[in-house]
Chain A
Amino acid sequence: MSMIEFNNVEKYYGKFHALKNINLKIDQGEVVTIIGPSGSGKSTLLRCINGLETVTSGQLLINGYDLADKKTDMNKTRKNVGMVFQHFNLYANKTVMQNITLGPQVVLKQSKAQSEEEAHKLLELVGLNEKANSFPDQLSGGQQQRIAIARSLAMKPKALLFDEPTSALDPEMIGDVLNVMKTVAEQGMTMVVVTHEMGFAQEVGDRIVFMADGSILEDHSDVAGFFKQPNDERARVFLSKVIKHM
């Protein structure tokens, strides 16, 4: 059984057709990167996986539970899927430590002591132990994003979603965040990453998905091969632009 499975998923925003006949299977431990031009539906796809958006029709199975089915408890499935946002979205009214421990305490009913012990390990992992008592607006963008990753990991999710996690960062901070993501991937986390970082896609990604205009046009396990020779014309144009841009 796949961890995440889209079967003929359609998504409309009002009359606007945002996702068109999406079929996608992601297995446990896989790192899938999603690329594509602006407005192609990448964020929408991710947001459907953790229930921030509902699909209009089709089947979206997470661990076997159908998110399109009204009987599925969204809060329960969401516990298993974390999300890292482009603009970090750390809780502005909480310290770094509280950002990481709130979910475990409120949702997983962990004790304060236990959640803080785990948080220190995660802060170690992202290299920010000295920032435990800072507030988000006292941190750089790169630091905030690493805390956001730690916050997601604290829930011990089965999968992590990343929506352009480095797009809002100054260039010199991108490397730190990508390194943390690479470490998480090496620990076997199932990851779906929307990104413009083609280096990361090649080095860390097990698979690459190219989207345009609400559809998946390419889906390859041979990531390097895809970069050398994309089949679809739109993918070729997109890659030539992105790579020239880099």
Chain B
Amino acid sequence: MFDIFANYGGQLWSGFGYTLLSSLYALIGSLVVGTIFALFEISPNKVLRVIGHIYVEIFRNIPLLVIAMIFYIVVPQYIAKIDGFTAGTIGLTIYTSAFIAETVRAGIEGVPVGQMEAARSNGMSYGQSMIHIIMPQAIKIVVPPLGNQFINLVKNSSVLAFLAGFDLMYQGNVIASTTFRTTDTYFAVGLLYLIITLPMSYGMRYLEKKWSAERSED
């Protein structure tokens, strides 16, 4: 396995870089988009609620690969030319955002209704109540499941391999098919994924522990 690193290190680390970059874009993008659609889903406005609901149900119930393929093949034909990396990252963002919307919605709904009622009768608007009272409490509920979504996101970025996205999985496939050293190659690839996901996993555990300790101190 180490000679794979010695001979193809450049290729592997380049793939690692693309995987990291795609994950980072998709993470930020899906967090923003997912939170917006979560707010739609719980909005007092019925039209927004329906839009949020449709968005979530469509994109979490189609395989990621299909969404990515649509951006890779259909969008360039009719709308704009985009490369595999961009198409895959957009697909990944949209797919993950549907799950994040559900997670964030559940987190907001996990805050007791009395908190919103108290804020409203305290004179605050819906938006002010959300910002000062509901969201800060929802974040603590939402962080553990969000961490899982983000770890899934990194792993799912391997979809880029199907779209010539130059990511880690793509480079692994290339190396494996030229060297026929499949076992060693995919071990090396797996190891590089762990470099990204393990710190996330432990970061999550740390936060969870810290917050449950804070709670029991009270």
Contacts and interface: CB of A to CB of B under 8 A. Distances in A.
B123 A78 contact: yes
Interface stretch (B62-70, B83-91, B124-132): B124-132
Interface residues of B, number: 18
Contacts of A81: 121
Interface in A116-153: 135, 137-138, 148, 151-152
Contact of B136 (A93, A148, A152): A93
Contacts of B128: 106-107
Nearest to A82: B121
A38 B133 CA distance: 30
A155 B121 CA distance: 10
A52 B117 contact: yes
What band does the interface of chain A fall in when counting residues whose beta carbon is under 8 Å from B?
A: 20 to 34
A102 interface: yes
Contacts of A52: 117, 120-121
A190 interface: no
Interface of B: 112, 114-115, 117-125, 128, 132-133, 136-137, 218
30 contacts: A50-B121, A52-B120, A78-B120, A78-B121, A79-B123, A82-B122, A83-B117, A83-B118, A83-B121, A85-B114, A85-B118, A89-B115, A89-B117, A89-B118, A91-B132, A91-B133, A92-B115, A92-B137, A93-B133, A102-B122, A102-B124, A102-B132, A103-B124, A106-B128, A106-B132, A107-B122, A107-B123, A137-B218, A151-B122, A152-B121
Interface pairs A-B: 9 shortest CB-CB? A89-B118, A89-B114, A83-B121, A107-B123, A79-B123, A103-B122, A93-B136, A137-B218, A50-B121
